[in-house]
């Protein structure tokens, strides 16, 4: 293999490029990114960077030493527009193309928008974060649609800036389908304890200059509106490539697509029918995908740790595993009314998930010891 | 030199955080070796005393950066900067960390 094109220059793409070198590949690596920026880390965008306490420089995924050592051929500020496997080419939005024997698809996705909310802020990219930060002036009334991780973290940051915040959530409680009603209530309490006006079971209909309009006809006044309602995988550019797409690019359990010289990693990768939108997943997939790309077949299987974290207000939330509704929740330490607790999810006598609020030590112990075996679908 | 805790309070495989500026994490490995490093992960704010101890490495409890307790060097991403290391002495059953401003000195 003489040249590998890594399409997508965020965490998953960068990790793939690093893994190529770490696994001894010394051919060319072209790293294609549609944003003009060198690769940066996204988690602080809703937290310290938005609050102004984390510097732009600290977001960089690669420092000067890394850049020199990796010897990447960057194509930044251009989008991949097509993959032509027969010609081994990736076409780019500036009219150029990249010849590559191997391709790593790491195009992630874009923030989903709601009909009627055109022009509202979303938060996925550095530019999004800069635009939102500029809007968070003293006295601004902030309304956030969606109480998932992004919405909750933005709400938390806005409160730390002293702003009035309303969070509108369609579900009965934040993250209820993921965490179940008891832990969802904990997430709701975090909002209320810190002065955020969380309103659940609310349907929104659109944004107006005065604020957010609800399906009920009511208006929630706002100066700044942020939607945090998930993301859409970026696969449009793969139309005509012959690859299976649909809620991500489809791969086997080793992250290899129908073409052995094309693998996928990160938010866009739908492996064995599953797709995750998390930092850890984007980071952990690269070693497997790259090994399989270099081997020419799916020699290794990806086993997700299912680890996610979120910093909200005074709390660090951690979740590992893949709990489902109906799993049995048990408190190992503390209880849901305390400021620090650890709970496990069990199913058929096996621990399938661990959740912690402000107890990283016990969380990691259980994650390693109780959850040692990988989740089996 | 600051007092960490007694030897009895830190069995093998355990760690303790000494508040201060900077906060220090002291580890007793499964092999009974004592190490002290800066407690705060160089990647993002997390207490390494809460991390997972394996051999003479500790994994950050939040984002899985791995540090070598002997050198303070990170051995994998996302951390890139080392943590400071300190020498540890045991005197009369008490563990002390050397080379730290003695704010909490016993």
By C-alpha distance, the chain A residue nearest B14 is A361
DSSP B21: S
When CB atoms are compared, the residue of B49, B51, B62 closest to A309 is B62
Is A360 in Cβ contact with B50 (below 8 Å)?
A: yes
Question: Cβ contact (<8 Å) for A318 and B62?
Answer: yes
Residue A355 backbone phi and psi in degrees, to 5: -130, 140
Q: What's residue A370's pLDDT?
A: 82
Q: Please state the φ and ψ torsions of residue A204, each to the nearest 5 degrees.
A: -105, 155
| Confidence check: pLDDT of B102 > 70 | no
Which of A41, A361, A368 faces B50 most closely, judged by CB atoms? Answer: A361
Contacts with B, A 147-206, CB within 8 Å: none
pLDDT at B57: 96
**Sign for the pseudo-dihedral over CA of A83, A89, A92, A98:** positive
Q: What is the pLDDT of residues A180-198, one digit of tens each?
A: 999 999 999 999 999 999 9
Q: How many CB pairs under 8 A join A and B?
A: 35
Structure ipTM: 0.84
Per the prediction, chain B carries an average pLDDT of 90
**Touching check for A315 and chain B: CB below 8 Å?**
no
Give the tens place of pLDDT for each residue, B37-62.
999 999 888 999 999 999 999 999 99
**Sequence-separated (6 or more) residues with CB below 8 Å from residue B105:** B1, B2, B3
Q: Could you report the per-residue pLDDT of A325-345, keeping only the tens digit for each?
A: 889 999 999 999 999 999 999
* The dihedral sign for the CA sequence A121, A152, A210, A49: negative
pLDDT of residue A375: 45
Closest Cα of chain A to B66: distance in Å? Answer: 14
SS3 readout for B37-104: EECECCCCCCEHHHCEEECCEEECCCCCCEEECCCCCEEECCCCCCCCEECEEEECCEEEECCCCCCC
The answer to whether A250 and A238 have CB atoms below 8 angstroms apart is: no
Unique residue bearing structure tokens 């270099």: A294
Residue from A199, A186, A226 nearest A335 by CA: A186
Query: Which one-letter DSSP state was computed for residue A328?
Result: E
Q: A280–B47: do the CB atoms touch at under 8 Å?
A: no
**Of A125, A128, A159, A165, residue with least CA distance to A144:** A165
Instruction: Please give the full DSSP string across A12-61, using - where no structure is assigned.
Output: HHHHHHHHHHHTT--SEEEEEESSSSPPB-SGGGGTHHHHT-S-SGGGBS
Q: Which backbone phi and psi does B36 adopt, to 5 degrees?
A: -135, 135
What's the whole-model pTM score? 0.93
- The closest CB to that of A360, out of B62, B77, B80, belongs to B62
Q: Judge whether residue B101 has pLDDT over 70.
A: no
Taking CA–CA distances from A61, the nearest residue in chain B reads: B78
Residues of B in contact with A283 (CB under 8 A): 77-78
Identify the pLDDT of residue A368: 86
Q: What was the pLDDT predicted at A371?
A: 81
Which residues lie across from A221 on neighbouring strands? A211
Both tokens of A122, joined, read 């979303």
Q: Identify residues of B whose CB sits under 8 angstroms from chain A CBs.
A: 44, 46-47, 49-52, 59, 61-64, 77-78, 80
Contact B77 A283 (CB under 8 A): yes
- Buried b / exposed e along B31-64 (16+ C-beta atoms within 10 A): eeebbbbbbbbbbbebbbbbbbbeebbbbbbbbb
Q: Which residues of chain A have pLDDT under 70?
A: 372-377
Q: What is the pLDDT of residue B103?
A: 47
Record: contact B50-A63, CB cut-off 8 A: no
Q: Which helix (H) or strand (E) holds A191?
A: helix A176-193
């Amino acid at each position: 293999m003489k040249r590998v094109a890594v399409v997508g220059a965020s965490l998953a793409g960068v990790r793939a490029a690093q893994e190529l070198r770490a696994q001894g590949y010394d051919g060319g690596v072209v790293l294609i990114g549609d944003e003009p920026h060198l690769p940066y880390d996204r988690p602080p965008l809703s937290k310290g960077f938005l609050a102004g306490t984390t510097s732009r420089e600290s977001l960089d995924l690669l420092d000067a030493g890394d850049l020199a050592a990796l010897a990447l051929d960057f194509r930044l500020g251009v989008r991949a527009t097509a993959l032509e496997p027969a010609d081994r080419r990736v076409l780019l939005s500036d009219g150029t193309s990249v010849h590559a024997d191997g391709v790593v698809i790491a195009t992630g996705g874009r923030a989903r928008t709601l009909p009627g909310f055109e022009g509202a802020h979303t938060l996925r990219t550095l530019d999004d974060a800069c635009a939102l930060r500029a809007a968070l002036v003293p006295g601004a009334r902030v309304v956030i649609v969606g109480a998932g991780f992004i919405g909750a973290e933005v709400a938390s940051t806005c409160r730390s800036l002293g702003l009035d915040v309303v969070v509108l959530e369609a579900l009965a409680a934040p993250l209820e389908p993921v965490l179940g009603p008891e832990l969802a209530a904990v997430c709701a309490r975090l909002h209320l304890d810190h002065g955020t006006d969380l309103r659940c079971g609310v349907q929104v209909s659109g944004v107006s200059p005065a604020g957010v309009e609800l399906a009920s006809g009511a208006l929630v006044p706002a100066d700044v509106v942020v939607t945090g309602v998930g993301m859409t995988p970026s696969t449009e550019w793969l139309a005509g490539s012959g690859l299976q797409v649909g809620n991500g690019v489809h791969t086997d359990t080793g992250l290899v697509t129908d073409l052995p010289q094309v693998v996928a990693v990160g938010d866009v990768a739908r492996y064995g029918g599953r797709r995750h939108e998390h930092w850890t997943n984007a980071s952990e997939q690269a070693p497997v995908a790259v090994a399989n790309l270099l081997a020419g077949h799916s020699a290794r299987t990806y086993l997700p740790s299912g680890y996610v974290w979120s910093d909200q207000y005074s709390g660090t939330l951690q979740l590992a595993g893949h709990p489902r509704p109906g799993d049995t929740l048990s408190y190992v330490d503390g209880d849901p009314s305390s400021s620090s607790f650890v709970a496990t999810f069990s199913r058929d006598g096996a621990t399938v998930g661990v959740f912690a609020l402000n107890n990283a030590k016990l969380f990691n112990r259980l994650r390693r010891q109780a959850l040692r075996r990988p989740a089996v679908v | 030199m600051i007092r960490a805790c007694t030897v009895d309070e830190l069995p093998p495989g355990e760690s303790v955080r000494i508040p201060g500026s900077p906060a220090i994490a002291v580890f007793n490995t499964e092999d009974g070796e004592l190490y002290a490093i800066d407690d705060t992960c160089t990647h993002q704010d997390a207490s390494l005393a809460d991390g997972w101890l394996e051999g003479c490495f500790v994994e950050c409890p939040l984002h899985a950066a791995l540090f070598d307790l002997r050198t303070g060097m990170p051995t994998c991403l996302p951390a890139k900067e080392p943590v400071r290391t300190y020498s540890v002495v045991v005197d009369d059953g008490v563990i002390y960390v050397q080379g730290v401003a003695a704010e909490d000195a016993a």
